[in-house]
Structure 1
C-alpha cells in the first residue's frame, strides 16, 4: 500500500482551507465577489473601490471567523441578514444568485460527487443524495448550508453596497466627507453584530465537555510493564448507536469478554486530527495546540505517548492518513487516502501486518477510515454505513488472528474505539451534535477485567496515560486524563 506522497500531504492541507468553515467563508466570499465582476479587472478604479469596500466589511469577516454558529445557533444567523436589508437597499441580485449557485455546485457536485468519485470511488450520481446531506449538516464546515448561506450572503451584501457607494464617489476623501451618513450605520451594525454574537455564545454555547485540571496522578506507572504490546484500532467516525445496529460479531465479542466504557466522551472540537492529538497526548486542544483539521502551526506542543515510549526504550507507530502527520509528524506511518473506499481498510490492515512483521513495535495504533469516509460521502443513516462497520469488524478479526498466529497476542492488550461519532448530514463532526459525542470504547486482553462495564463518564484523553501504564512508560508531560484503572486486573488484584 502506498504511503501518502508529499503532494498528497500538501493537497490535504489545501483541501482543509475549503473544508473547514472558518477559512472557507472568506475564501468563498472573495472568490464570488471577484468572479462576479471579472470583466472589470483591467480597471484600476475597480480595484480601489473593491479594496475600500473590503476594508469597510473586514470587521464582519473577523466576527464570523471568530464565532462559529453550529447546531441550533445557525438559526440565529438570519436575523443579521434581515437587519442589513432594513438598513441598506438590496442591489445586484444576480451576485447573490451566483453565490448560491456556486455554493451548491461546490458542495453538492464538486465535493460530494466529483471529489469523492476521484478520491474514494463513489458514484457519479452521488449528488442525488448529497444535496440533502448538505442541507442537514450541522457542524461548522463548508458543507453546512444553513450556516454558510446567511454568512456569505450578509458579507457579500454589505461589501457590494460599500463597493458601489465608493465607486460612485470615486475617491476615499469624497466617500468619508459624509462619514455620518456613509459609515455610522456600518459602525453601529458591526457593533451590534459583535454584541449579538458574543451574547449568543456566552449564553447558549454551553455543550463543551468539562475539562479535568490536574495532571495524571491517580496511579503510578508500575516498575514492570503489565503488557508487552498494545494494539489500538481506531475506527474513525464510528457512531455509537449505529455500531450497536451493525453486524459486528467479533467486535461485540471482544467487548463482552473485556471491559467496556459505555460513556466515553470525545473532545471538543471533535475533528479527527484534534481527537487523535488529544488521545495520544492525554490533554486538551488548548494545550496540545491542534484545534481543527486545519493545522496552521505543524506539530503538537506537548509530549505524546510516542515520546514517552522512547524514554522507556520502546517504540510506537501510528498508522493513519496524511492529516495526522500535521500533528504527530514522524511518528505517523502514512497511508494514501486516494483509493477506492471498498479497499481502503483492507489496504490499511495489510500495511499494519507489514509494520508488525518488519518493525514489531510495542504500540501500534491503526486508523481504519472506511466508516468515516462512508459517513461523509453517503451519510450515517443509510445501509452503506452499517456495511462499512461490518467490514471493519471482519478486518479486525483477521488482523487479530494474524497476530495470534505469530505469538504477538500472548501478553497484549487490544483497545477498540472511535475518535468521534458522526451526525446526520454529511457525516458532520466537530461540535458534538447527536451521534458525535460518545464513542465506542473497550479493552480486551490478559491484563483486562472480563465481562466488565463502566457506566461512569470518561474522556478519550485517558487513552495516553492508560497506554503509558500498560507499557511501563512515563506519562506524557501534559497528560491530564486518569488511567482507566477500573479496566485493569492488576489494579483489582485479579491476576490469575
Structure 2
C-alpha cells in the first residue's frame, strides 16, 4: 500500500481550509463577493472601496470565525439576520441567490460527488443522496448548511451594504451610519457570547489533575510485550451493535468493555487522536480542529514516553495525523477506492509488524468513517463497512498469532468518535457522536467484565504507559483503566 505522498499531505492541509467550518466561512464570503462584482475588477476604485468596506465589516468576520454555533445554537443565527433587515432594510437578492447556489454546488456536487468519486470511488449519482446529508449535517464542517447559510448571508449583506453606500451612493466614509453599524456589531457579539457562555453546556467535563496524582506511576516493569490499538474511525456505538461482527464481539465479551467511553470536544479525527495519545485535552495539546495552523502537538505523546524506556511505537493512519505526530506516523494514502481501503491498511499493518516489530502499534481503519461521510450512517452501506472491518481485524489478529506476536499482547479496540447523519458527521457531539465502542482484550485483562462508569478516551495514553512500563506523557490527565487489569494471575476467558 502506498504511503501518502508529499503532494497529498499538502493537499490534505489545503482541503481543510474548505472542509472546516471556521476558515470556510470567510473564504467563501470573500470569493462570492468578488465573483458577484466580476465586472468591476478593472476599476481601481472598486478594489479600494471593496477593501475599505471589508475592513469595516471585518469584526463580524472575526466573530463568526471565532464562534461555532453547535447543534441547536445554530437556530439562533437567524436572529441577527432578522435584526439586519429591521435596522438596514436593504436586501441584495441576486447576491444571496448566487451564494446559496454556489454553496450547494460546492457541497452537494463538488464535494459529495466529484471529490468523493475521485478520492474513494463513490458513484457519480451520489448527489441524489448527499443533498439530504448537507441539510441534516450538524457538525463543525463547511457542510453544516443550517449554520453556514445564515452566517454567510449576513456577512455578504452587511459587506454589500457598506460597499454600496461608499461606492454607488458616493457618501464616503464620513456619511456611513457608524453608530448603527457599531451597535449592530456589539449586539451580535454580546448575543453570541451569552449563547456560548450560558447555553452551550454539553461539552464533556475535563479532569483537572494529572494522571500521576490519581494512580501510581509505572515502575518501569512492562506488563505486556506489545500493545496494539485498533481504531475503527467514525464507528457509531449503536450501529456497531446492529452489525454482524462475530470476531469483535468475541473479543469484547472475553475482555473488558467500557460502556460509557466518551470522546473529546470537538470530535474531529485529528483532535481525538491527539487527545487519545497524549492523555490530555485540545486546549492543552493545541490541536483544536482538523485544520492545524501550527504543526505538532505542544505536549509529550505516548510515543515520546516509550522512547524514554527504549521502546518503539508507530501510528498507521491518514496523512492528517502527521500534523500532530510527525515522524511517528506511518502514513497511508486516502486516495483509493473505499472498498479496498481497510484491506490495504491491514496489509500495511502486517508489513510494519514484520519489518519494524514495534512494541506499540496504532492502526486506523478508515472505511467506516469514509462511508459515513459520503453515504450517511443510517444506510446499509455503513453497517456493511463495520462488518467488513470485523473480518479484516480477525485476519490481522490471526496473522499475529501465527507470527508469534500475540501471546503477550493487549488489544484495545475503539472508535475515535461516533457519527451523526451528515456530510461531515462529527464534531459538535450530536446524537451518535459522544460515546464510542471501547474494549480491551489480552492476557493481563479481565475477561467477561463490563465497566459502567464514565471514562474518557484520554485514558488510552496512560493505560498504554502502564502496560508497557513507560512513564506517563508529561501532561496526561486521563485515568489508567485499572478496572480492566488482571495482574494477580486470575484466569482470563480468552
TM interval, shorter chain, is: over 0.9
**Structure 2 residue aligned with 1:206, among 201, 216, 220?**
201
1:483 is aligned to 2:480: yes
Which consecutive unaligned segments of at least 5 residues does structure 2 have? Answer: none
- Counterparts in 2 of 1:351-430, with a 5 A limit? 351-430=348-427
Pairing of 1:137-152 with structure 2 (within 5 A)? 137-152=137-152
SS at match of 1:238: coil
* Contact map agreement 2:271 2:282 (CA 8 A) in 1: yes
Matched, 1:254 2:251: yes
1:459 aligned residue: 456
1:64-102 Cα deviation digits (max 9, x unpaired): 011111200010011111110111233431111000000
Tell me the distance in 2 between the aligned counterparts of 1:200 and 1:143: 22
Tell me, in whole angstroms, the C-alpha distance in 2 between the residues paired with 1:178 and 1:359: 70
Distance in 2 of aligned mates of 1:188 and 1:287: 35
Inter-partner Cα distance in structure 1 for 2:209 and 2:138: 33
Alignment partner of 2:173: what SS?
helix
Work out whether 1:494 is the aligned partner of 2:490: yes
1:311, 1:90 → 2: CA distance?
Answer: 64
Residue 112 of structure 1 is matched in structure 2 by 112
Helix, strand or coil at the partner of 1:333: strand
For residues 220 and 273 of structure 2, the distance between their equivalents in structure 1, rounded to whole angstroms, comes to 27
Distance 1:39 1:176, change over 3 A: closer
Question: What is the CA-CA distance between 1:246 and the residue it aligns to?
Answer: 0.5
Quick one: distance in 2 between partners of 1:465 and 1:331? 18
Mean Cα displacement is larger for which, 268-277 or 221-230? 221-230
Q: Which residue of 1 aligns with 2:55?
A: 55
Three-state SS of the structure 2 residue aligned to 1:176 is coil
1:183 equivalent in alignment to 2:144: no
Structure-to-structure mapping, 1:22-101, within 5 angstroms: 22-101=22-101
What runs of 5+ residues in structure 1 fail to find an aligned partner? none
Which of 262, 265, 277 aligns to 1:265? It is 262
Q: Confirm or deny: 8 A CA contact 1:379 1:427 kept in the other structure.
A: no
TM-score if structure 1 supplies the norm length? 0.97
Helix, strand or coil at the partner of 1:139 = coil
Contact 2:349 2:363 in 1 (8 A): yes
- Residue aligning to 2:192: 197
1:201 and 1:224 mapped to 2: Cα distance? Answer: 46
What corresponds to 1:275 in structure 2? 272
Normalising by structure 2, what TM-score?
Answer: 0.98
Matched residues in 2 for 1:163 and 1:157: separation?
10
Moved over 2 A (4+): 89-92, 174-179, 492-496
**1:177 match: secondary structure:** coil
| Structure 1 position 399, deviation (Å) | 0.1
What RMSD, in angstroms, separates the aligned Cα atoms of the two structures? 1.1
Q: Give the SS at the match of 1:320.
A: strand
Shift of 1:493: 6.0
